[in-house]
């Protein structure tokens, strides 16, 4: 009857069946038969149920002051006007709290070792010293051809930065190579910063100080979200 009625539902089949027969617990029997129909399963079976996600790393779950466990990444380059309307590239160093998802943004003129250390010192002076820093694995950037990724790769493994971090008693961890989802907690916020900057600045060409002001305002807005 189910096929005769072109794979109709249980109510239609039960109504047709009762024209000639009365079947106790008929609806339950009909629904059990429909569940075994491969044609109905194919078109009405619902989406595939994804597997249960694994537990979050402990750094994401431990109760700790803000910015105790930090993710770090770079955004850019952004174009500013410098001097007589000359254009110049700048970057944003992003620090993200792994627990409360707050951000700290530092505008830097380049991606050199000294600028990163200065940005990190400003971050610690305002947010406190972190225990653990998590960042992308620099080795995976060698698979890319862009200059930005190569610079970031070299910066991650710079001996001056590693020595400075070690002297401060901070542990720097790298995510597994070719597993970018492990850095999703800071990658997602990096995308949020980019979106806010893109909608705020649009096609305007700002000076370094003007862009720095906008970046700090973006930081404030993101940190005030519910």
Q: Any idea where the domains of the chain sit in the sequence?
A: 10-44, 58-223
Contacts of 42 (CB under 8 A, 6+ apart): none
Cα–Cα separations (whole angstroms), residue 47 to 33, 41, 121, 194: 21, 11, 49, 32
The pLDDT tens digits for 147-173 are 656 666 777 677 787 788 778 888 888
Beta bridge partners of 89: 79
Report the share of the chain in percent with pLDDT over 90. 20
Contacts of 80 (CB under 8 A, 6+ apart): 87, 88, 89, 90, 205, 206, 207, 208, 210, 211
Q: Which of 47-51, 73-77, 86-90, 193-197 has the lowest mean pLDDT?
A: 47-51
Judged against a pLDDT cut of 60, whether residue 144 lies above it is answered with: no
C-beta of residue 192 within 8 angstroms of C-beta of residue 75: no
Report which of 159, 154, 158, 169 is spatially closest to residue 124, judged by C-alpha positions: 169
Q: Residue 195: left (phi > 0), alpha (psi -120 to 50), or beta?
A: alpha
Judged against a pLDDT cut of 60, whether residue 143 lies above it is answered with: no
The pLDDT tens digits for 183-218 are 778 888 888 999 999 998 888 889 999 999 999 999
Taking domain 58-223, whether its CATH number is 3.30.420.10 is answered by: yes
């Amino acid at each position: 009857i189910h096929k005769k009625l072109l794979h109709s539902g249980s109510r239609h089949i039960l109504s047709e069946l009762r024209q000639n027969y009365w079947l106790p617990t008929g609806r339950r029997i009909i629904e059990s038969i429909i569940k075994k129909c491969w044609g109905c399963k194919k078109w009405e079976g619902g989406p595939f149920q994804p597997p249960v996600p694994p537990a979050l790393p402990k750094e994401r779950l431990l109760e700790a002051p803000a910015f105790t466990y930090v993710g770090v990444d770079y955004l850019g380059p952004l174009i500013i006007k410098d001097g007589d309307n000359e254009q110049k590239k700048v970057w944003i160093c992003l620090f993200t709290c792994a627990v409360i998802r707050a951000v700290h943004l530092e505008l830097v003129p380049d991606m050199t070792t000294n600028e990163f250390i200065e940005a990190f010192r400003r971050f610690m002076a305002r947010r406190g010293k972190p225990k653990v820093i998590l960042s992308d694995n620099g080795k995976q950037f060698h698979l890319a051809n862009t200059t930005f990724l190569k610079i970031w790769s070299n910066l991650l493994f710079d001996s001056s930065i590693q020595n400075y971090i070690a002297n401060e008693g901070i542990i720097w961890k790298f995510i597994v190579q070719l597993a970018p989802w492990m850095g999703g907690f800071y990658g997602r916020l990096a995308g949020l910063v980019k979106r806010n900057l893109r909608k705020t600045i649009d096609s305007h060409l700002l000076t370094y100080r003007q862009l720095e002001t906008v970046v700090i305002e973006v930081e404030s807005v993101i940190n005030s979200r519910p």
